[in-house]
């Protein structure tokens, strides 16, 4: 939890450096980012129901461990979302879009990888995926 507080503190300090005004388009891009991290958080919480699957991302594994719990995962991703927003607010408009699209793309890809690993399905019935496009690994 100390690491999460440190990340938050640094993000808040950086956010005071805002230069360009925030637009409605910025808000839309940030909401899309929040949707991508919510999906990533959900699929990450599913790791605990699959003893043969461990967290693969080094930073997330360092903070949450190999088999992250639901509450720790949601706390981590909430801090990540708030930190992302605060950093986006501090960036010049010309950099902001790259930051938002890059973050959304990264977490979207993590959701894809998690689903590809079998984390989108019902843990009680891995042959019955939660979403029709998510297929368990054979």
Please indicate, yes or no, if residue 136 is contained in any of the structural domains. Answer: no
**Structural domain span for residue 52:** 2-129
The verdict on residue 135 lying in a domain is: no
- DSSP letter for 50, please: -
Half-sphere exposure of 94 (CA within 13 A, CB side): 0
| Residue 17 resides in a domain | yes
Mean pLDDT of successive 10-residue stretches along the chain, which has 138 residues? 64 63 95 96 88 85 87 92 92 93 96 87 53 49
Q: Across the chain, where does the E strand assignment appear?
A: 121-122, 125-129
- Residue 137 domain flag: no
In a domain, 138, yes or no: no
Give a yes or no: residue 35 inside a domain: yes
Beta-carbon contacts of 3 under 8 Å, excluding residues fewer than 6 positions away, are 62, 63
Query: In the chain, count of helices (H) and strands (E)?
Result: 5, 2
pLDDT on residue 107: 95
Q: Considering the domain boundaries, does residue 56 fall inside one? A: yes
Please report the pLDDT score of residue 7 as a whole number.
62
Domain assignment present for 8 = yes
pLDDT value of residue 40: 93
Distance from C-alpha of 54 to C-alpha of 99, rounded to nearest angstrom: 28
Count structural domains, the chain.
1
């Amino acid at each position: 939890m100390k690491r999460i507080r440190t990340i938050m503190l640094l993000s808040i300090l950086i956010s005071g450096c805002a230069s360009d005004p925030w637009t409605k388009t910025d808000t839309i891009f940030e909401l899309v980012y929040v949707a991508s991290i919510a999906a990533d958080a959900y699929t990450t919480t599913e790791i605990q129901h699959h003893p043969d699957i461990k967290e693969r991302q080094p930073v997330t594994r360092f903070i949450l461990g190999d088999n992250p719990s639901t509450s720790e995962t949601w706390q981590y991703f909430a801090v990540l979302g708030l930190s992302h927003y605060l950093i986006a607010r501090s960036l010049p408009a010309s950099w902001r879009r790259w930051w938002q699209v890059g973050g959304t793309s990264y977490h979207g890809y993590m959701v894809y990888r998690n689903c590809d690993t079998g984390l989108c399905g019902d843990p009680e019935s891995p042959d019955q995926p939660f979403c029709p496009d998510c297929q368990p690994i054979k």
